């Protein structure tokens, strides 16, 4: 009797589905792939950057192996639960998915159709087939990233127009980046090598200039092709060709007199939050002009302190410290209105939010328990918060749970404003530009550093007296900041 040889077929590949990175995420934009087909990755290696409604997040891989396919192109918006990358041994077939339990409805409703989650199930035709119901429950054996929990409620994903209904069709190929954009990455073959790594704007520039990215030697971080690489290949310079770089994707009218830019990601979240705040909380704004000369002088001295030389020290540091002291004296400003319970919740801690303008929109990360920090620690926290936010790296947890916000329009040369309260809070302080102006001191007009402070607050539970007392307290500490450094 002959004995059959052991099977040498490679093990099944795993497909990593877009996870919910927190706070009920339903979709995200694929910003940039950090790997390409053929790369070998280990568990927790970062494979992709995604942009959610609040920030840009790096996703680590839950699997180890070779990257077999990138299933979603850069720039696409995908729903939670969508397979985005396939990882396994070379030549491995996709893992057979197990069907999820049927979704049941209350007895008064018609029974729902069973929910399937086969990773390789083809999308039905938008015109003839039913919707695909995806519960986003990972297949058996799929690792779950720390903090990235699967969503429990069902998400509906309509089939893309023109999708095949042929059960023999390979959906992995239909979902591959090559199927949607000829410039995007495909699995390596003798006839077509993997594409070079580059950000979307760099790819657009290369297309405009007629440069083949695969012929360039990348000099950017992690082996990416940079804008300078493209310009050098085109025979130009960064300064001479900068005007030819296309702006973010917009739709222009035929006459070229208007452009339309999609609102999504951080900007979409900001718009919804501001509308909700403006029309749910009655805003009152007060402002005061104050002599900030003592604060400017103090900042100059602090910049010389050895323990503060490695961080940025600005008037924002001193004013933030003043706000923390004033909030201790007027705790009602550090509260929130609970509409459902008809209660005012006074916070005995301060998560200090700092509004930051980023290329993707306005975000308000906050320093947790800022009231417990020393001046040196507060300076370091502010520096790290602003740097991270401007780089688009603030995590969802950094943007949640704020109790009081400071926004600084003075950096743009603006004297003041009427800021909208950050949702979930009751007040926001706006800092205007510090300018040298004539000021009366001891009946004499002298040049002083002057600024305007504007405070918006929720008038449902913070009356004029309370708001005015807090604003006057902050103004007094700005004009004489020594007290703010004593606690």
Which residue would you say has higher pLDDT here, 450 or 53?
450
Domain count of the fold of the chain:
3
Q: What is the pLDDT of residue 91?
A: 64
Question: Each residue of 350-363: pLDDT tens digit?
Answer: 999 999 888 777 88
Which tokens belong to 181? 């954009």
Query: What are the respective helix, strand and coil percentages of the chain, to the nearest 5?
Result: 25, 25, 50
Same domain (yes/no): 434, 287: yes
Q: At 449, which CATH number?
A: 3.30.559.10
Same domain (yes/no): 353, 293: yes
In whole angstroms, give the CA distance from residue 136 to residue 117. 8
Which tokens belong to 408? 């600084």
Contact 39, 68 (CB under 8 A): no
Say yes or no to pLDDT of 7 above 70.
no
Task: With residue 174 as reference, give the H or E element that holds it.
Answer: helix 171-175
Q: What is the pLDDT of residue 251?
A: 55
Same domain (yes/no): 169, 312: no
Phi then psi for residue 210, to 5 deg, are 70, 35
Question: Which DSSP state fits 108?
Answer: T
Which residue would you say has higher pLDDT here, 196 or 93?
196
Quote the pTM value. 0.55
Residue 460 C-alpha from the chain's centroid: 31
Q: Rounded mean pLDDT of 102-126?
A: 41
Question: Each residue of 367-409: pLDDT tens digit?
Answer: 999 999 999 999 999 999 988 888 878 888 888 899 999 999 9
Range of the domain at 454: 267-485
CA torsion, ordered 339, 341, 347, 353, to nearest 10 deg: -30
Residue 452's CB: how many other CB atoms inside 10 A?
Answer: 22
Say yes or no to pLDDT of 187 above 60.
no
Q: What is the pLDDT of residue 172?
A: 39
Contact 428, 421 (CB under 8 A): yes
Residue where a domain stops, chosen among 231, 262, 293 = 262
Say yes or no to pLDDT of 189 above 90.
no
Q: What is the pLDDT of residue 451?
A: 97
Same domain (yes/no): 122, 204: no
Same domain (yes/no): 426, 281: yes
Q: Rounded mean pLDDT of 61-80?
A: 89
Q: At 230, which CATH number?
A: 4.10.320.10
Asked, for residue 315, whether it belongs to a domain, the answer is yes
Q: What is the pLDDT of residue 380?
A: 93
Same domain (yes/no): 443, 295: yes
In whole angstroms, give the CA distance from residue 219 to residue 108. 63
Best CA proximity match to 141, nearest among 9, 41, 10, 14 = 14
Question: Each residue of 308-366: pLDDT tens digit?
Answer: 988 989 999 999 999 999 999 999 999 999 988 999 999 999 999 999 888 777 889 99
Residue 261 C-alpha from the chain's centroid: 18
Catalytic residue among 283, 449, 459, 461: 459
Asked, for residue 464, whether it belongs to a domain, the answer is yes
Q: Give 100's pLDDT tier (boundaries 50, 70, 90).
A: very low
Q: What is the pLDDT of residue 390?
A: 84
354: helix, strand or coil: strand
Q: Give 53's pLDDT tier (boundaries 50, 70, 90).
A: low
Same domain (yes/no): 83, 130: yes
Q: What is the pLDDT of residue 57?
A: 81
Beta bridge partners of 51: 29, 56
In whole angstroms, give the CA distance from residue 198 to residue 204. 10
Q: What is the pLDDT of residue 195?
A: 58
Q: What is the pLDDT of residue 11?
A: 60
> Locate tokens 């923390």: which residue?
324
Which residue would you say has higher pLDDT here, 138 or 486?
486
Residue 461 is a catalytic residue:
no
Residue 407, class by beta-carbon neighbours within 10 Å (0-12 exposed, 13-18 middle, 19+ buried)? buried
User: Mean pLDDT, the chain, as a whole number?
Assistant: 76
Asked, for residue 467, whether it belongs to a domain, the answer is yes
Say yes or no to pLDDT of 121 above 70.
no
Q: At 116, which CATH number?
A: 2.40.50.100
């Amino acid at each position: 009797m002959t004995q059959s040889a052991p099977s040498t077929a490679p093990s099944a590949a795993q497909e990593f589905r877009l996870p919910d990175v927190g706070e009920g995420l339903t979709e995200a934009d694929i910003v940039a792939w950090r790997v390409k087909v053929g790369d070998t990755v280990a568990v927790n290696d970062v494979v992709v950057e995604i942009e959610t409604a609040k920030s840009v997040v790096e996703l680590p891989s839950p699997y180890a192996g070779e990257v077999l396919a990138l299933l979603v192109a850069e720039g696409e918006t995908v729903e939670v639960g969508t397979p985005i990358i396939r990882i396994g041994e070379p030549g491995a077939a996709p893992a057979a998915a197990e069907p999820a339990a049927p979704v049941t409805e209350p007895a008064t409703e018609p029974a729902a159709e069973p929910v399937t989650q086969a990773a390789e199930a083809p999308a039905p035709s938008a015109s003839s087939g039913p919707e695909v119901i995806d519960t986003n429950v990972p297949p058996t054996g799929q690792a779950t990233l720390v903090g990235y929990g699967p969503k429990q409620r069902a998400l509906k994903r309509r089939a893309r127009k023109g999708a095949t209904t042929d059960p023999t069709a390979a959906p992995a190929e239909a979902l591959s980046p090559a199927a949607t954009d000829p410039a995007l990455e495909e699995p390596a073959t003798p006839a077509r090598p993997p594409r070079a790594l580059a950000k979307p704007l760099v790819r657009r520039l290369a297309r405009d200039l007629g440069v083949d990215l695969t012929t360039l030697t990348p000099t950017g971080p992690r082996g990416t092709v940079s804008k300078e690489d493209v310009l050098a290949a085109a025979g130009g310079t960064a300064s001479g060709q900068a005007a030819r770089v296309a702006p973010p994707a917009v739709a222009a009218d035929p006459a070229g007199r208007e452009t339309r830019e999609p609102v999504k990601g951080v900007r979409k979240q900001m718009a919804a939050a501001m509308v909700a705040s403006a029309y749910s909380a009655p805003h009152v704004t007060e402002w005061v002009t104050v002599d900030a000369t003592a604060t400017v002088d103090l900042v100059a001295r602090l910049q010389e302190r050895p323990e503060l030389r490695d961080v940025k020290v600005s008037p924002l540091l001193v004013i933030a410290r003043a706000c923390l002291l004033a909030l201790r004296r007027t705790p009602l400003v550090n509260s929130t209105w609970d509409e459902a319970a008809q209660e005012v919740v006074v916070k005995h801690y301060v998560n200090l939010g700092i509004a930051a303008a980023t290329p993707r929109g306005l975000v308000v990360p906050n320093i947790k328990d800022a009231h417990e920090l020393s001046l040196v620690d507060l300076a370091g926290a502010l520096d790290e918060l602003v740097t991270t936010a401007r780089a688009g790296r603030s995590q969802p947890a950094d943007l949640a749970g704020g109790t009081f916000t400071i926004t600084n329009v003075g950096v743009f040369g603006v004297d003041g404003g009427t800021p909208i309260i950050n949702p979930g809070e009751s007040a926001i302080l706006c800092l205007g530009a510090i300018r040298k102006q004539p000021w009366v001191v001891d009946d004499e007009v002298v040049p002083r550093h002057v600024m305007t402070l504007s405070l918006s607050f929720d008038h449902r539970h913070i009356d004029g007296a309370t708001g005015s007392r807090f604003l006057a307290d902050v103004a007094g500490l700005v004009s004489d900041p020594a007290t703010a450094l004593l606690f």
